[in-house]
Structure formats: structure tokens, C-alpha cells
Amino acid sequence: MRFFKKTDIIIILVIIAASLVVWGAYRHATRKEPPRAEIYHYSQLVKIIDLDKGEDLVFSIAEEPDVVFHLYPDGSICFEESDCPDQICVHTGRISAPGQFAACLPNGITMKITTGDDADTPDLVIGGRQED
Amino acid sequence: MRLKTAILAIILVISLASCEARADQRYEAQFLQLFDTITQIIAYTGDRTEFEGQVDLIYKELEEYHKLYDIYNDYEGVANIKTINDNAGIAPVAVDPRIIGLLEFSRHVHETTGGNVNVAFGAVLRIWHEYRNAGIDDPENAKLPPMELLMEASLHTDIDRMIIDEEASTVFLADPEMSLDVGAVAKGYAVEQVALSAAKNGFSSGLISVGGNVRAVGIKPSGEYWNIGIQNPDTSSLNQNLHVVNLDGMSLVTSGNYRRYYTVNGVEYHHIIDPATLYPSVHFDSVTVLNADSGLADALSTALYIMPYEEGLALIESIPGTQALWIGHDGAIQYSPSFSDYIKK
């Protein structure tokens, strides 16, 4: 008596093949992505900037043209200018690490650095509360 | 035949187990409407609908605290901290028990920190707030508040003249010139209360952060800790995160001088005022505190920012379960003895 019938081997191969496909899809979906800056106007994602292109770029978003962002070639980005009264967004300085964020509350803008769901990056970054 | 079935079963179980490990998905939400700062919620839930349900509950509760603890704005039908200030020397104000809870906590914190965190310090903080705002609006004419003005205001900062009647749920400021400023305690206290409430409602694996007051609930479904980066106060440095801290259902709060400040004659004056000098504290660039209670961590971060290192260290060593990290103006870092246990290696 043979231990495996031909159909058993086929079933096993099909299961293994299916597992490989699912595993491949999972790896693709969760692969480590380069960091990027997501800029939100209130809760609306209005711009995504890749930080790994070595670009030197000064730009605004259509929703708030008086707020100026600066992307540096080293992959950091900041609020360069803003018409807000407190300038907290400008004081936040350059950010580049996943989990970091900067915000301009008067203009309803938040900018956060994100990447793929990577266990090596912090979930959040804190530093300096924004009120007394 | 049995062995064959067992092999097939094992393959199936392995396949299903790898699906199971991904059952909870990570979701994030953020708001700009609360406590004049950014609120972020991160959680792992079964699906987006469940996450949105949790966020909705957390937001609504935080919004209630935001209105109750506001010192600048009135809200229809709400007696808040501003209402208490408006009635200083006039009459007791009937308030929500959540205000009584905050003020009792603040009295406790005042004792614990040797008076360095004082919610009755509003008269002095209000002057700095006005001069800072005027200086930001008109930088060329930015001025420092006259010391006589600050000294006069400091005569009206006695927390014992904040009269709380718990049974009647009223608060009365017996000195008509005094006012409450709960900025050093309110966010952390509110986050703690909301985190406890959210946990009861099934929020089992998440982070709530209000302006950098971070409170972790549980750990990640994978069994890993939450990771919180501590930002380098030198924002021009390429080394942006000094450390990453592992959090398991605890809180991490930082007080720093590098975002909210104004400049007079080329010198930056930040917003954390030392009650002893009536001027911005000068010891550190930032202080980070770790404690299970977000309210206590918030208050202690302000206290430690104001106190010299040795005094601050003695204070946190007297409070079990508390760790801290101090960053000096030269970038030098000092740690409490067991802080390194929480640093992600």
C-alpha cells in the first residue's frame, strides 16, 4: 500500500501553492516602504511627498497657499513659513523620522511622517507639549 | 491514513494561524479641535467600523473634558473653569464632578511637587500669555512683563483660597484677583480618565495622544510593546529621535521649551513659568516622564522642568513607578536609575 495517493500529493501541492501565494501577497502588502510625508488639511489627505528622492522642493497646498513647506535633499521636511500667529508649526523644525508630526492648528494642517507597518519604527513621536 | 490526515490538518492549521495573526488591523485618526493641540488615536481593531466606533466615543468624551477645562471660552449650558474664574470673589459655582475631580487632583499635585505645579497660578500665567501673544503678533515691539506686575499678580496665587465643596459640587475662589490655569494638568488628567473609560468599552490595544500626552492601553496584538520616540529638542539635528521607549499600558509625557515661545531682544522666552522666579524656567531643554497615570506624568513633567535635576530626581524617586529623562541645553541627557529598562534596545 502506498503511503500517499496521487490525489493526496496534488492536494498538498495545491495547499502549499496557495500558502505561497498568500504569503507573497502579505509580504508585498507589508514590505518596508520608504518614509513619506502625508499632509492633511483638517481630516483630508491633500498631499503625499516621498522623502527619499533627494529633492530640494519648496511648495504650498492649494487649500492654504500662505503656508510654505520645504523638503530638503536629506529627506527632512518642515513648515518653512506660515501666516499663523503663534508660529508653532515653524518652530517645530525639520522632521523626517516615521512617527514624527508637525501641525499648524490655525490653518488646520497636520503633517506626519509615515512608512509601511514596520515594527522598527515608533508608533508616535513626542517632544514639547503645545500649551502651558 | 491517520498520519496523512494529521499532516493535512497541520498544514491547514499553519495556514489559518498565519491569517489569524493578521486579524486585527492598525488604524489611525487625528483631530485638531481639542485642547488647542493635535489629538492622535492609534489602535488595532477587527475592522474600520469597530475603530471608528471607539474613536467616536473617545472623541466625544475628550470634547466634554475640553469644554469643562477651558479657561478662555464659554459654552452654552456648561459651567467650566472660566466660569469659576469669572466668579472669583463673587460666588461659588456649581460644576460637573469632573471639574471637582481635576481640582482635587491638582491640590494633591501641588503638595507632591512642593508648589511647583499650582493651578491657582493663573494671575501670573495670564500676564505672560498676554505679553507672549502681543510679542508674537508684533515681534519688533515684543516686551517682557514688568516684574512689579508679576509680583503683584503672584500675591493672588494661594491654592488654599480655592474652596471646593465636594458634597455641593461647587468651587469658589475666595480671592477676587485669583484665577485658575489648569494647563499643566488638564490634558493629562483628561487623557487618563478617557483611557480608563475607553478600556472599559473594549478599547484594548491602542494609543491616545493629546498634544504629546501619550497614554497606552494594553500592548499590540502581536505581543509587542507600543514604541514612542522622544524627539531631540535640537530640531536641526539629523538624530531626530533620542530614544524609542517601550510602553505597556503606561503614559509618557514631555515638557519642552522649543515650540511655544516668543523672542524679546534676541532671547527666546518659553511658556513654562517658575513660581519662584516668575520667569520661564531655565534648567532644561526638555523633560520626559514615564508613569502609569497620564495625569501624574503630565504634572510631573512640568514640575521636573522647573526644578533643578537633583530636586527633581528626589521627587520622582519618592513616587513609585516613575521614571524621567532630562535634556540639558548642551544636549546632555540625564536619566532616572531605571529609565533604561524602558528604552527599546
- pLDDT computed for residue B316 by the predictor: 95
| Record: contact A131-B181, CB cut-off 8 A | no
Q: Is residue A104 part of a domain?
A: yes
- pLDDT computed for residue B266 by the predictor: 87
Question: Residue B103 — pLDDT band, cuts 50, 70, 90?
Answer: very high
Which residues in chain B touch residue A130, judged by CB atoms under 8 angstroms apart? 36-38, 211-212, 259-260
Max mean pLDDT range (A6-10, B263-267, B278-282): B278-282
Nearest CA in chain B to A40: B30
C-alpha cell recorded at residue B52: 471608528
The predicted-structure confidence for B26-41, as pLDDT tens digits, reads as follows: 999 988 889 988 899 9
Please state, for a pLDDT cut of 90, what percent of chain A lies above it: 33
Q: Could you tell me if A27 and A60 lie in one domain?
A: no
The predicted-structure confidence for B129-162, as pLDDT tens digits, reads as follows: 999 989 988 889 999 999 999 999 999 999 999 9
Which residues in chain A touch residue B122, judged by CB atoms under 8 angstroms apart? none
CB nearest A105 (choices: B22, B36, B288): B36
Residue A109 has pLDDT above 70, yes or no: yes
Q: Could you tell me if A25 and A40 lie in one domain?
A: no
- pLDDT computed for residue B27 by the predictor: 93
- Rounded to 10 degrees, what is the CA torsion of B134, B136, B137, B141? 70
Q: How many whole angstroms separate alpha carbon B49 and alpha carbon B143?
A: 51
Q: Could you tell me if A22 and A75 lie in one domain?
A: no
The predicted-structure confidence for B59-95, as pLDDT tens digits, reads as follows: 999 999 999 999 999 999 999 999 999 999 999 999 9
Q: Could you tell me if A21 and A48 lie in one domain?
A: no
96-125 in chain A: CB under 8 A from chain B: 96-97, 99-101, 103, 105, 108, 110, 112, 117, 119, 121-125
- pLDDT computed for residue B204 by the predictor: 94
Q: In terms of pLDDT, which residue wins out, B38 or B293?
A: B293
Q: How many whole angstroms separate alpha carbon A110 and alpha carbon A38?
A: 8
3-32 in chain A: CB under 8 A from chain B: 3-4, 8, 11-12, 15-16, 18-19, 22-23, 26
- pLDDT computed for residue A129 by the predictor: 36
Q: How many whole angstroms separate alpha carbon B335 and alpha carbon B203?
A: 32
Q: Is residue A129 part of a domain?
A: no
Place domain B81-173 in its CATH homologous superfamily.
Answer: ApbE-like superfamily (1.10.3980.10)
Residue A132 has pLDDT above 50, yes or no: no
Number of domains in chain A: 2
CATH number at residue A80: 2.60.320.10
CA distance, residue A58 to nearest chain B CA (Å): 18
Q: In terms of pLDDT, which residue wins out, B256 or B106?
A: B106
Structural domain harbouring A20: 1-31
Q: Could you tell me if A46 and A22 lie in one domain?
A: no
Residue A116 has pLDDT above 80, yes or no: no
Q: Could you tell me if A7 and A25 lie in one domain?
A: yes
Residue B17 has pLDDT above 60, yes or no: no
- pLDDT computed for residue A2 by the predictor: 62
- pLDDT computed for residue B153 by the predictor: 98
CB nearest B229 (choices: A93, A97, A132): A97
Q: In terms of pLDDT, which residue wins out, B112 or B260?
A: B112
What is the number of CB-based contacts under 8 A between chain A and chain B? 173
Q: How many whole angstroms separate alpha carbon B140 and alpha carbon B123?
A: 26
CA distance, residue A118 to nearest chain B CA (Å): 11
Half-sphere exposure of A106 (CA within 13 A, CB side): 11
Q: Which fold has domain B23-70+184-342?
A: T-fold (3.10.520)
Phi, psi (deg, nearest 5) at residue A85: -70, -35
Residue B207 has pLDDT above 70, yes or no: yes
Residue B126 has pLDDT above 90, yes or no: yes
- Which residues are within 8 A (CB) of B129 and not within 5 positions of it... i.e. 6 or more apart? A132
Q: In terms of pLDDT, which residue wins out, A34 or B10?
A: A34
Any chain A CB within 8 A of the CB of B20? Answer: no
> DSSP secondary-structure letter at A52?
S
| Record: contact A130-B235, CB cut-off 8 A | no
Mean pLDDT for chain B overall: 91
Q: Is residue A10 part of a domain?
A: yes
Cβ-contact B89, B176 below 8 angstroms: yes
The predicted-structure confidence for B311-345, as pLDDT tens digits, reads as follows: 999 999 999 999 999 999 888 899 999 999 999 88
Any chain A CB within 8 A of the CB of B133? Answer: yes
Domain residue limits, chain B: 23-70+184-342, 81-173
Please state, for a pLDDT cut of 90, what percent of chain B lies above it: 76
Q: In terms of pLDDT, which residue wins out, B232 or A81?
A: A81
The DSSP H or E segment spanning A7 is helix A6-29
- pLDDT computed for residue B85 by the predictor: 98
Q: How many whole angstroms separate alpha carbon B190 and alpha carbon B305?
A: 21
Any chain A CB within 8 A of the CB of B165? Answer: no
CB nearest A127 (choices: B125, B227, B231): B231
- pLDDT computed for residue B335 by the predictor: 95
Q: Is residue A128 part of a domain?
A: no
Q: What number is the ipTM of this complex?
A: 0.81
Which residues in chain A touch residue B252, judged by CB atoms under 8 angstroms apart? 126
Q: Could you tell me if A8 and A48 lie in one domain?
A: no
Q: How many residues does chain A have?
A: 132
Prediction pTM value: 0.83
Least confident stretch, A16-20, A25-29, B53-57, B171-175: A25-29
Q: Could you tell me if A41 and A25 lie in one domain?
A: no
Residue A119 has pLDDT above 80, yes or no: no
Which residues in chain B touch residue A124, judged by CB atoms under 8 angstroms apart? 40, 42, 207, 209, 214, 226, 228-229
- pLDDT computed for residue B325 by the predictor: 95
Strand order across the A77-81 sheet = A57-61, A64-71, A77-81
Phi, psi (deg, nearest 5) at residue B254: -120, 135
Q: Could you tell me if A25 and A55 lie in one domain?
A: no
Least confident stretch, A33-47, B86-100, B199-213: A33-47
Q: Find residue A39's DSSP bridge partners.
A: A47, A111
Q: Is residue A14 part of a domain?
A: yes
- pLDDT computed for residue A121 by the predictor: 80
Q: What is the mean pLDDT of residues A100-111?
A: 90
3-state secondary structure chain B: CHHHHHHHHHHHHHHHHHHHCCCCEEEEEEECCCCCCCEEEEEEECCHHHHHHHHHHHHHHHHHHHHHCCCCCCECCECCHHHHHHCCCCCCEECCHHHHHHHHHHHHHHHHCCCCCCCCCHHHHHHHHHHHHHHHHCHHHCCCCCHHHHHHHHCCCCHHHEEEECCCCEEEECCCCCCCCCCCCHHHHHHHHHHHHHHHCCCCCEEEEECCEEEEECCCCCCCCEEEEEECCCCCCCCCEEEEEEECCCEEEEEECCCCEEEECCEEEECCECCCCCCECCCCCEEEEEECCHHHHHHHHHHHHHCCHHHHHHHHHCCCCCEEEEECCCCCEEECCCHHHHECC
Q: Could you tell me if A19 and A58 lie in one domain?
A: no
C-alpha cell recorded at residue B3: 498520519
Which residues in chain A touch residue B26, judged by CB atoms under 8 angstroms apart? 117
Residue A1 has pLDDT above 60, yes or no: no
Residue B3 has pLDDT above 90, yes or no: no
Please state, for a pLDDT cut of 70, what percent of chain A lies above it: 83
Rounded to 5 degrees, what angle do the CA atoms B262, B252, B185 make? 60
